[in-house]
Structure 1
Amino acid sequence: MTPAAIPTLPRGVRLHHDRVRRAEVLLGPETALMLDQIGAVILKEIDGSRSVARITGDLAARFGAPEDQVSADVAEFLQDLADKRLVDLTDG
């Protein structure tokens, strides 16, 4: 994955708030992935137009965190979801 990659949720995958568990869940075909707060924040930033680098920069600014650390965490998280086919990454 490159910083210019644009993440999107593939068809049939969506972010859902589970009211019973009071948690965000990523739902896909035959898959339900419970998300921690960080994962939910990252996925809420996916809009199909912003690159991984832009999402990383926005999150680093919002939370006052070092951009290189945020970049590594975001890249690892998104790559893991891409490997599970829960996120598509297209070169921008």
Structure 2
Amino acid sequence: MTSDSIPQMTPGYRLHPTQDVVLIPEGVLELSGPSRDILLEVDGKRTVREIVHHLAAKYEGADENEMLDDVVALLGRLAERGVLQG
């Protein structure tokens, strides 16, 4: 996953509508920290950089470059687990 990737949820995986979990074929994957907010922005249309730019506007005082590194790392881990494509 890079800043120019366009992530999307893998078919069969979805974010629970109210809880901090991703529903996966094997059960659930618990989310922590801002992971849910990040995944809510994943729509299969925007790049990771665009997602981070939008999130940075929501979190006043956030360093967009640091946030980009963190989001790329998180989305990369989720892609390795099969949750995301892109």
Alignment-derived partner of residue 48 in structure 1: 44
Q: What number of residue pairs does the alignment pair up?
A: 85
Structure 1 stretches of 4+ moved >3 Å: none
Q: Which residue of 1 aligns with 2:31?
A: 35
TM-score, with normalisation over the residues of structure 2?
Answer: 0.90
Q: How does 1:1-92 map to 2 (within 5 A)?
A: 1-17=1-17, 23-64=19-60, 65-89=62-86
State the structure with more CA Rg: 1
CA RMSD between the two structures: 1.3
- Look up the SS of the partner of 2:21 in the other structure: strand
Instruction: Give me the identity figure in percent.
Output: 38
Q: Which runs of 5+ in 2 are unaligned?
A: none
Matched letter for residue 12 of structure 1: G
What is the distance in 2 between the residues matched to 1:2 and 1:42?
15
Q: Which amino acid aligns with 1:14?
A: R
Find the residue that maps to 1:27 and give its secondary structure: strand
* More strand as a share of residues: 1
Give the TM-score of the pair, scaled to structure 1. Answer: 0.85
